[in-house]
């Protein structure tokens, strides 16, 4: 009887925790009007893009200085060329900080590209790109940003794919003093999103639809760094899935006018 009571209490607490993550309470639709819709009891949000609006977006009501941010997403199926679906953190103003996850669309049968970047004081240029090891259009998957004073970790289904350490000691800017909100959007970027803009949006396939659910923001970020297993998984992702790394960009080559960032030298 005691175990049953404990199990019931645990179930109730989990249900309460789940119901607390409600898009009606947690976010504000920022653009796109009816192309952004909160569905059900507030546990699902749909973004739609067509020629009449070109997309939609929302942001969290709260801002944060550090935390762990989880979002489950289901991306556009079929021909999504030219579209960009996003989940990111950002402060405001021209000298803003930002931690980006951008999912670049593709023609049917081609892999999605997950493009990541870190901005500090309005300066980015620290991109890493990946081809996901699964089809992100068939099911929901969890995308996470861990941001604390020491490290930024980007995870997919709890697998770390990118780490950005605080290396201010060697002159690397790090976002650690501006509060940021959580943003998400779906928009038309066919001038660059798919194969550098060579593949354009096919509006005959519209409307393009992406779904979000289970948004959780925790001010206790949990992870100070990676465990031994986490480091192995990160290494696996880098070898198998990473398609672009800014430190390896030939524009930073010897004799070039654009020297590599200091963390690349280190």
Peptide bond preceding 207 in cis form (omega within 30 of 0): yes
Whose tokens are 């697998």? That residue is 159
Residue 188 CB: number of other CB atoms within 10 A?
21
User: Of 28, 98, 128, 222, which one is the catalytic site residue?
Assistant: 98
The C-alpha atoms of residue 51 and residue 210 are separated, in whole angstroms, by: 16
The sign one gets for the Cα dihedral 36, 39, 42, 44 is negative
Q: How far apart are CA 220 and CA 59, in angstroms?
A: 20
Q: Using CA atoms, how far apart are residues 134 and 257, in angstroms rounded to an integer? A: 38
Is 102 annotated in the active site?
yes
Catalytic residue among 28, 92, 102, 128: 102
Residues 175, 151 contacting (CB under 8 angstroms): no
Active site residue 168: no
Angstrom distances, CA of residue 86 to CA of 34, 56, 98:
18, 11, 12
* 3 state SS of 108: coil
Which residues belong to the active site?
A: 98, 102
């Amino acid at each position: 009887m005691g175990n049953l009571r404990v199990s019931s209490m645990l179930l109730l607490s989990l249900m309460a925790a789940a119901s607390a993550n409600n898009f009606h309470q947690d976010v504000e639709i920022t653009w796109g009007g009816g192309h952004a819709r909160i569905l059900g009891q507030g546990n699902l949000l749909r973004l739609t893009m067509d020629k009449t609006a070109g997309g939609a977006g929302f942001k969290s009501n709260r801002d944060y200085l550090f935390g762990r941010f989880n979002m489950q997403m289901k991306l556009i199926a079929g021909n999504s060329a030219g579209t960009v679906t996003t989940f990111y953190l950002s402060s405001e103003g021209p000298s803003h900080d930002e931690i980006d996850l951008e999912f670049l669309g593709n023609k049917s049968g081609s892999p999605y590209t997950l493009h990541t970047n870190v901005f500090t004081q309005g300066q980015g240029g620290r991109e890493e790109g990946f081809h996901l090891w699964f089809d992100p259009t068939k099911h929901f998957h969890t995308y996470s940003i861990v941001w604390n004073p020491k490290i930024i970790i980007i995870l997919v289904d709890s697998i770390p794919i990118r780490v950005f350490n605080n290396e201010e000691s060697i002159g690397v800017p790090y976002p650690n003093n501006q509060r940021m909100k959580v943003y998400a959007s779906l928009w038309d970027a066919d001038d660059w999103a798919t194969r550098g803009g060579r593949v354009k949006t096919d509006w005959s396939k519209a409307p393009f639809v992406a779904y979000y659910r289970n948004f959780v923001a925790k001010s206790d970020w949990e992870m100070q760094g990676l465990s031994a297993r986490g480091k192995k998984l990160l290494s696996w992702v880098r070898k198998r899935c990473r398609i672009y790394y800014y430190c390896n960009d030939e524009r930073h080559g010897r004799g070039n006018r654009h020297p590599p960032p200091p963390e690349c030298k280190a």
